[in-house]
A and B are shown apart, each in its own frame.
Chain A
Amino acid sequence: MFIFQKIAFFFRINFLIFILLSLTIAVILLNKYSLNTTFTISPATYPYIVAESDSVDGGNSTIDLIKTDSSVIIDYELKEGIPYPYVNLQIFLGDGRTIGKDFSVYDSIYLWIKPRGEGSVRFYLRGWDPAFSRKDDPSSLKFNELEYFPLEENYPAVFVPEEFRVSGWWVAQKGINAHKARMDISNVPLIEIQTGTGAALGYGTLEIFKISFRGKIIPKETLYASLVAVWFIAFLLILVFRIFDYSRERKINRRKREELEKNLQALKIEKDSFEKSSKEDPLTGCLNRAGFSSILTREQFRLNYNGTPLSFIILDIDHFKDINDQYGHDIGDTALIELAKLLQSRIRSTDSLVRWGGEEFVVLCGDTPLQNAQFLAEKLRQAIERAALIPQQKITCSFGVAEMFPGEDTKAFFNRADKALYTSKQNGRNCVTASARKKE
């Protein structure tokens, strides 16, 4: 996995583009100024050369080949005999018949040929083409011809392959298809250097030093095609690695997101738990005053803006101090817990039970007018009276009930309920007193 990541890093697009650009420029420059290939034939030392006159075609010309250290000299005499008398020097390559040298890779040809006197020289690159060439017929090798006037050219004379053409007389003589009559020097088993067209009759000399073919190790077309291929493959690899990277990142991100969601969920649970515990009375599980405030605010809003009635029942355990003193605080706590359970089971789901403090509880009844709250309080009173909250003694509660009127101050409202509770206490306990509003 680590190596894979390394490779992935290596193929990061910016770095790779930089490398590719540098490489491309380097290769182009290197190819332009270096990486040359040269093929040189020095007839003075090359063994497979033959000097030939037109006598093979029934002519009368004569030829004499002299080798020096650096060249071959052809002394000849062109005589009347055939319509176009000539002499030539044949240089055989490969097997000299079917397998020769591929000169198509070279882009320039240098000729060190010096004639005596004016006149042209014909230079043939004889190509083998299996479509029409035959082993037993040397004349069937294609005549890729270049004819030039050495004295009019620089020395050495330099030519490019595009300057060659296929001899028209040979095409006509052999009946070669036009598609096959194009210059082709990809397989040349024979090079011929011949006296030119219309060479003057008589003596002549042709000194041949060397023939050189020059080109690039990597041809331009191949180089550019290779570079394009390299760029293409590189980007293909980038694409693959990007997809791999993307997939990997997506996996990592998904894992991180899942972890975050888990943490968030845990935090939410923790927050909810904290919130709940901050709003709950730890002993009885009822709301505490903090929890009550938010509910009261909501219900007050409903009362003030929609006129939804809101009532408040406050109850207090009668003689609770005596229970604590007589049976201990544990029994007192049990009484509170059991009372809370009982109240919770008897109120509606829309009511809120709050431990107001000590042995005081409050039931906040939303959407409840005073008479209904008073009735609920009476039912609660009876239920408490009937229940055995603790085995030691019967427990009763006194109740105060009040209905808030729109815009009433919360403190005044609580005071009213408290007064009603106080009245219940004063009137013998275990009863319900409602705070009825006196009409003006």
Chain B
Amino acid sequence: MMRRLFPVFFLLLLAGCAREQKEAEFIPLKLEWYAYEGAAFVENETPLSPDSAAERANPCMVSLMRELLQNPEIQKSAPEFDFKVQYYVYKSAQDTLLRFLGKNNLPASVSWNKTPILPGETNANTCFWTAECTSKGKINHLKFKADFKIISESRSASEK
């Protein structure tokens, strides 16, 4: 019995040893940051001055980057990411928040400081997300394919 099983064990051992260790994979992640200075385009949100956004942005950028790096959507999606990231400060009922809007495959020719980044039509090659950063620098609600309400479809369409 043992004699018959020995070649099997031997082959299993060889197969185990021969199995190549999987190399870690890496995703190139490029983020271009824009402090949004344009008019309000989300319902119930009034962007504050760009100066207050700049003050708040630094710790939030680091936190957001950490969240993005670990996010399963990023992890499972395209092999390369090139996000334009817009940020602005607005007041909510509870806190003064820093909102991030990110989207890939956007043209570089547009002035993303003035033009809002909107979800638009998404397909397999586009990725849109939003996130909020609290006054304590914590990222909340990192959402892909966000469903926030735009003030006016026509306005957003025209700006787009």
Interaction A to B: yes
Contact check, B66 vs A378: say whether CB atoms are below 8 A apart. Answer: no
**Count of interface residues, chain B, beta-carbon cutoff 8 Å:** 25
Consensus secondary structure, chain B interface:
mixed
Chain B CB within 8 A of A6 CB: no
Chain B residues near A440 (CB-CB < 8 A): 22, 24-25
Determine the residue in chain B with the shortest Cβ distance to A376.
B62
Contact check, A433 vs B29: say whether CB atoms are below 8 A apart. Answer: yes
Kindly identify, within residues 21 to 66 of chain B, every residue whose CB is under 8 Å from any CB belonging to chain A. Answer: 22, 24-33, 58, 61-63, 65-66
Known A-B contacts A370-B69, A371-B69; the reply to A436 vs B24 at CB < 8 A is no
Partner of A424 from the list B30, B61, B69, B108 (CB cut-off 8 Å) is B30
Tell me the smallest distance from the CB of A420 to a CB of chain B, in Å: 6
Q: Please, how many angstroms separate the alpha-carbon atoms of A279 and B26 in the complex? A: 32
Contact check, A432 vs B69: say whether CB atoms are below 8 A apart. Answer: no
Tell me the smallest distance from the CB of A349 to a CB of chain B, in Å: 19
Chain A CB within 8 A of B74 CB: yes
Determine the residue in chain B with the shortest Cβ distance to A438.
B25
Contact check, A436 vs B29: say whether CB atoms are below 8 A apart. Answer: yes
Determine the residue in chain A with the shortest Cβ distance to B108.
A428
Known A-B contacts A428-B108, A436-B74, A439-B75; the reply to A371 vs B66 at CB < 8 A is yes
Give the total number of A-B pairs whose CB atoms are below 8 A apart.
Answer: 70
Contact check, A435 vs B65: say whether CB atoms are below 8 A apart. Answer: no
Chain A CB within 8 A of B159 CB: no
Consensus secondary structure, chain A interface:
mixed
Contact check, B28 vs A374: say whether CB atoms are below 8 A apart. Answer: no
Chain A residues near B33 (CB-CB < 8 A): 378
Q: Please, how many angstroms separate the alpha-carbon atoms of A181 and B33 in the complex? A: 131
Q: Would you give 30 A-B contacts (Cβ < 8 Å), ordered by A?
A: A369-B66, A370-B65, A370-B69, A371-B62, A371-B63, A371-B66, A372-B62, A374-B31, A375-B62, A378-B33, A378-B61, A405-B24, A416-B26, A423-B80, A431-B32, A432-B30, A433-B29, A434-B30, A434-B65, A435-B27, A435-B28, A435-B29, A436-B27, A436-B28, A436-B29, A436-B69, A437-B24, A437-B25, A437-B26, A439-B70
Q: List residues of B whose CB falls within 8 A of some A CB.
A: 22, 24-33, 58, 61-63, 65-66, 68-70, 74-75, 80, 82, 108
Given contacts A371-B69, A438-B25, 19 further A-B contacts (CB under 8 A): A371-B66, A374-B31, A374-B65, A375-B61, A378-B31, A416-B26, A420-B28, A424-B30, A427-B82, A428-B108, A433-B30, A434-B28, A434-B31, A435-B26, A435-B28, A438-B26, A438-B27, A440-B22, A440-B25
